[in-house]
Amino acid sequence: MKSFLQYITESGKLYRFDDRHVTPKAQEYATSPDGSESGNVAGWNPPADWSRRTGLFTGKLHHVLPFAVPRATRWITTGARTKKSKPTVYFDEADRKAIQSHRPVLSQYNVRQGFQQIVGGEYFAPGERAPSPVSQRVIENPLEEISKHYAVKFVSNLARHKETMDSWGLNYSAEGF
C-alpha cells in the first residue's frame, strides 16, 4: 500500500492560487523546524530557527481551494473528508461579495520541476524563482469551485464563531487570524 506522501508525489501535480497569472517570482515563506507551521514572510519576522523557502504549493487540490478567495479574507475549516461527508469552510458574511467577485488563477505545476516537500506535506520551489506553471486557469466562481470539496457556510461574525469553537474545544484550521 502506498503512503499518502508517495501518492501525492506520484500524482505529479502541484497547485496554488494567485490573484493573477503568475510569473516566476514567487513569494518567500518561512517554515517551523518541525514543518508543522508556515507563513508568508511579508510583514513579519519569523523566529530565527525557521527555514525560509520560496513559494508554497500543495499536492492536493482540495488543500488549496479555500485560498481561492481574496488574500485578506479570513476563513476556518472544520471536519474531515470521508466517503460520506465533506469538511466545512466558514467565511464571514461581510466577505461574501468580495469572494463572489474575486477571479483567482489556479496554477498547476509538475512535481518533477524540482519542488521540495517538507514534513508538513507542503511543497516549495527550488531557489528564488518558481518554475513556470504547466497550466493556469481563471476561476470564474470561487464559491462553486470550493463547494466541490467543502460545505461552504457564511456566519455573521467569524471571529465570534472562532471564539465559540475555542470555548467548545473543537479542532479547526484558520487563516488570517
pLDDT in tens, 64-108: 888 899 988 999 999 888 888 899 999 999 999 999 999 998 888
* Residue 151's pLDDT band (cuts 50, 70, 90): very high
**C-alpha cell belonging to residue 142:** 470561487
Q: What phi and psi, each to the nearest 5 degrees, are found at residue 99?
A: -65, -45
Tell me if residue 165 falls in helix, strand or coil. helix
Element (H, E) at 176: none
How confident is the model over 102-111, as pLDDT tens digits? Answer: 999 888 888 8
Nearest alpha carbon to residue 110 among 18, 8, 39, 35: 8
The region, left, alpha or beta by phi > 0 then psi within -120 to 50, assigned to residue 30 is beta
Residue 1 has pLDDT above 60, yes or no: no
**Domain limits at 56?**
4-175
Length of the chain in residues, anyone? 177
* Per-residue pLDDT tens digits for 16-36: 777 666 555 566 777 788 777
Domain count, the chain: 1
What's the pLDDT band for 10 if we cut at 50, 70, 90?
very low
Retrieve residue 129's grid coordinates.
524563482
